[in-house]
Structure 1
Amino acid sequence: MRGGTSMPGMFVSFPPVRMHRLRRMLDDRIRSVGLSPRGWTASCMTLVCLMVWPLTGWREFLSAGMAFGIPLAYAMLMARGGGRLHVTLEAPDAIVQGDEVRLRLTASYGARRRFGCGKRRFVIRLVVPIAGTRSFDDATGTSVPQPSSTSRTEEWFEIPPLADGASVTLDRSWTASSRTILRIGPACMRVGDPFGLVLRRRYMSDAITVRVWPRTVWCLLPASGSLRSPEGSPVNGTVDDGLDFLSLREYRPGDPVRGIHWPSSAKTGVPMVRQYEPWMRIATVMAVDADPNGYSGSDEFELAVAVYASLGEACLSVRRPLIVTDGTWTLRPASVPAWLDHCSGIAPNGSDAGRGERPEASALPTSTMWSGGEGVAYRFMVSGSATSPEWTGHHTRDETSGTRQVSFRIRFGERPSVRTAAWGTVAVVGALADLPKVMGAII
């Protein structure tokens, strides 16, 4: 090949994505071996000595290779234990803040055990992290990763020697001091050797999730709704437009021609106009400010979530449609447990002021996205003492269709109060126990 030409396809370039996958796969393979830094040193020395010995013929290299290789092989054989140990984790799916988390571990052996394994004591490490939630930093007023709502990061279980087919059950319990989502497990067994050459982590079970629901209080709600026309005007009796046909009446001057029922008009000889049932507005729309800058501290933010959860639970308990929105997404919880599951994962969202984090579909299996269908009777907004006017203006609208708007301002430790604004009602809540009194004043 002359003139600097090259055959097409001779040089193959790998895209960055494939190189990244190859590097990650290689890292996973290296980690799966389970060698410690000392073990990698011993393996490299063994390989070098055994490769140099045939070239030089020096028996010293053979002796050195065997001195490094035999302990390494023995360590890898010792680290193979525990393959027949079966572990399961059990815990309640959801608890209320302040209750105990009861974790149960059940370990059992298979039918046949190799020689010497029955004398080993297995230590299983349980990691209890907080998954998908963040806490409030009172010093800076920002959201930070939450280390643990239980002041624990892991639990250690010591499995005693067991006979073939035997099992043991161990229990642990602690108090869930804050609202969060706990990810427990998987149970991990550390297997090593006396030389420190091999250190493997074997995951023995699946991870489980425990949702810690916020505390709630029972409170009254305003009337179930009001009769409205499709345009939103309050009415009594029937309306001239709607979905459910109810009756007929005689034509009046000014009635639209499209509302005339022609078959009935032909029979009676008098123009007859359709009459429909008015809409009953019973749905409640709710929103909470998730910006940590809108709250004076973690106590105020948690109180806002508790008020938010209590209002939603009150709506769902009497089977009122509940619509949760932040302006960009809209969700309709189908039951009280689904609603409290959603509230357990509410977290400060940092710099994205006024926007709650969109819940994952797997987090709310019994909830559906809502795109309309019920008339909105009430709009509840829950915010902090320092919430920006932009967030309030984003969620409060100049309603001419009869929707009643109530803004709950959370000010931790202050006395409750209710006042009227141009767009609706403003209620100040200083403690969760004050919410029933505030709702009584609003009603």
Structure 2
Amino acid sequence: MTAESGAPQTPSQARIAVRAVARSLGASLRSLGATLARAWRTVAEFCAPVTGVVSTTGWLVLGAAAASLVLAWVFGWIEFAFLGFTLLAAVLVSIAFVFGRMHFTVGIELQPTRVVAGERALGRMVVRNAGTSPSAPARIELPVGAGLAEFVVPHLAPDAEHEELFAVPTNRRAVIIAGPAVSVRGDQLGILRRTVRWTDPVELFVHPVTARLRPSAAGLVRDLEGEVTKVITNNDIAFHALRAYEPGDPLRNVHWRTSARTGQLMVRQYEETRRSQLTLVQSTERAHYASDDEFELGVSVLASIGVQVVRDATRLSVVTEGVALRTATPTVLLDDSSRIEPADGAYPSMRDFVRDATKRLPTPSVVIAVGGSLLPIAEFRSVETVFGNDTETIAIRVELGATSSLTKVAGTTVATIGSLGDLPRLMRRVRP
């Protein structure tokens, strides 16, 4: 019964009322949840200077101490009370180890900053006491790639320096990051840990091994003015034919001598010429390569061809599933090739990858597609369908240890590379 009319509510009205109450309750709960979240963030930010020094081990020790004291309180087990207070005492004792302030100036140098895979690279860390009083011994951690180097800095007088040398592993192509250097203060058990960052990360580029190719990449780019295509245009260099004048044609294209002889205006037509453009694509799909070494061989082939084409001052685009490589200079290209990583399921097919990766690039004169031994030849051939008839397609299939060969499959030149040393000889035989 309603208070106003005294009439009973229908089932639909009751459902509407229940929904309204549920919506109101839900809004209230959401508002309460947001308020509690803001309060928690405020408390966490306020306590961060204290809680931030507690390591994972420290939180485990505190949790074990709390659990032990609860068990001792509930069941009256004195052994757990002893354990809980012992753990709390360990935390209290470790507090003294995190106090103190250091005034360091830390520098990290890598020599050289770019190496070829397998070459030696060294690092140097210099710690200087920038304070006015002697510094206490300190421990500095320096991440180097996937590893972590730890150095102990002894007592340093004001303005005194301490030097540490370290070797950088460069067995494989990669971008190795050294740093940041972090000083660590804390107890020997690792319960509390206060860190101070002193440097920014420094990059070491480990370039792929490359082969030196002959200029013009074995004739892939045939002339400096461009290649003549079958496209007819009104303005270019290569003369094609004459046709009758149409309204709108520029008068500079009128061939006056023929027009006077025929009594009708005739204009010149030209075959369009394009400046040579080479596009390098590499499939980095992990499933296309038989091993990691075969994948590295593919990257080395890509980098070798790309570096020579850049040296020849030919326009070049280089793309993989994960990154488009910069081609301003050979060094920049090699730096980016150090970042190439295997992909997993990025595209359903080689053709889809090439179509998506090159749709915003200039129309190429030559396309070179690099892939592994597990990539079917049909996938290489499908790249040819992405481009027009004026584009030549070369497929380079890397198969570690195989006999290098060169074959023609339909309109695609297929080169099989078993060793990087075979690349210069094979590329000399390539004629798009």
Does the alignment reach a TM-score above 0.5? Answer: yes
Aligned residue pairs total 375
> What amino acid does structure 1 have at the position aligned with 2:291?
G
SS at match of 1:314: helix
1:435 aligns with 2:432: no
2:218 aligns with: 222
Per-residue deviation at 1:346? 1.1
CA displacement, residues 378-407 of structure 1 (integer Å, 9 cap, x when unaligned): 111111111145642442327553322111
Per-residue deviation at 1:286? 0.8
1:348 aligns with 2:337: no
2:117 aligns with: 97
Q: 1:413 aligns with which of 398, 401, 415?
A: 401
Structure-2 separation of matches of 1:436 and 1:192: 57
1:51 aligns with: none
1:365 aligns with: none
Q: 2:185 aligns with which of 174, 187, 191?
A: 191
Structure-2 separation of matches of 1:407 and 1:248: 33
CA displacement, residues 274-305 of structure 1 (integer Å, 9 cap, x when unaligned): 56684244111111111111111111111111
Structure-2 separation of matches of 1:434 and 1:156: 44
- C-alpha contact (below 8 Å) 2:277/2:365 kept by paired residues: yes
Structure-1 separation of matches of 2:32 and 2:317: 52
Per-residue deviation at 1:259? 6.8
CA displacement, residues 89-110 of structure 1 (integer Å, 9 cap, x when unaligned): 1224322111122111111112
1:161-200 to structure 2, matched below 5 A, reads: 161-193=155-187, 198-200=192-194
> What amino acid does structure 2 have at the position aligned with 1:104?
R
Q: 2:369 aligns with which of 351, 370, 381?
A: 381
CA displacement, residues 22-67 of structure 1 (integer Å, 9 cap, x when unaligned): 399569666413362487479989xx9xxxxxxxxxxxxxxx99x9
Per-residue deviation at 1:261? 2.7
CA distance 1:122–1:283, shift in 2 (3 Å)? same
SS at match of 1:376: coil
2:130 aligns with: 110
1:257 aligns with 2:246: yes
- C-alpha contact (below 8 Å) 1:100/1:176 kept by paired residues: yes
CA distance 1:419–1:390, shift in 2 (3 Å)? closer
1:14-93 to structure 2, matched below 5 A, reads: 14=33, 22=41, 31-34=51-54, 36-37=58-59, 40=62, 72=92, 75-91=94-110, 92-93=112-113
- C-alpha contact (below 8 Å) 1:290/1:355 kept by paired residues: no
CA distance 1:69–1:332, shift in 2 (3 Å)? closer
> What amino acid does structure 2 have at the position aligned with 1:109?
N
Structure-2 separation of matches of 1:425 and 1:248: 31
Q: 2:313 aligns with which of 312, 319, 342?
A: 319
1:138 aligns with: none
Structure-2 separation of matches of 1:313 and 1:248: 35
Mind listing any 5+ residue stretches in structure 1 that lack a counterpart? 49-63, 131-152, 359-368
> What amino acid does structure 1 have at the position aligned with 2:428?
G
> What amino acid does structure 2 have at the position aligned with 1:126?
L
- C-alpha contact (below 8 Å) 1:96/1:214 kept by paired residues: yes
1:139-154 to structure 2, matched below 5 A, reads: 153-154=147-148
1:241 aligns with 2:217: no
Per-residue deviation at 1:178? 0.4
Structure-2 separation of matches of 1:331 and 1:164: 47
- C-alpha contact (below 8 Å) 2:129/2:157 kept by paired residues: yes
2:392 aligns with: 404
CA distance 1:109–1:430, shift in 2 (3 Å)? same
- C-alpha contact (below 8 Å) 1:89/1:205 kept by paired residues: yes
Higher RCO, 1 vs 2 (CA within 8 Å, ≥6 residues apart): 1
- C-alpha contact (below 8 Å) 1:285/1:323 kept by paired residues: yes
CA displacement, residues 321-376 of structure 1 (integer Å, 9 cap, x when unaligned): 111235898665222122112211111112335579x9xxxxxxxxxx99455x52
Moved more, 407-416 or 276-285: 276-285
- C-alpha contact (below 8 Å) 2:230/2:271 kept by paired residues: no
- C-alpha contact (below 8 Å) 2:122/2:167 kept by paired residues: yes
1:262-341 to structure 2, matched below 5 A, reads: 262=251, 271=265, 273=267, 278-326=272-320, 333-341=327-335
Structure-2 separation of matches of 1:20 and 1:216: 58
CA distance 1:326–1:257, shift in 2 (3 Å)? farther
Structure-1 separation of matches of 2:190 and 2:340: 44
CA distance 1:156–1:197, shift in 2 (3 Å)? closer
Higher helix proportion, which one?
2
> What amino acid does structure 2 have at the position aligned with 1:203?
R
SS at match of 1:216: coil
Structure-2 separation of matches of 1:84 and 1:103: 23
Moved more, 177-186 or 325-334: 325-334
CA distance 1:192–1:29, shift in 2 (3 Å)? closer
Structure-2 separation of matches of 1:336 and 1:44: 61
SS at match of 1:87: strand
Per-residue deviation at 1:319? 1.1
- C-alpha contact (below 8 Å) 2:368/2:395 kept by paired residues: yes
Structure-2 separation of matches of 1:214 and 1:20: 52
CA distance 1:372–1:191, shift in 2 (3 Å)? closer
CA distance 1:393–1:24, shift in 2 (3 Å)? farther
SS at match of 2:230: coil
Structure-1 separation of matches of 2:183 and 2:350: 41
CA displacement, residues 224-247 of structure 1 (integer Å, 9 cap, x when unaligned): 236545xx328xxxx6434x5x69
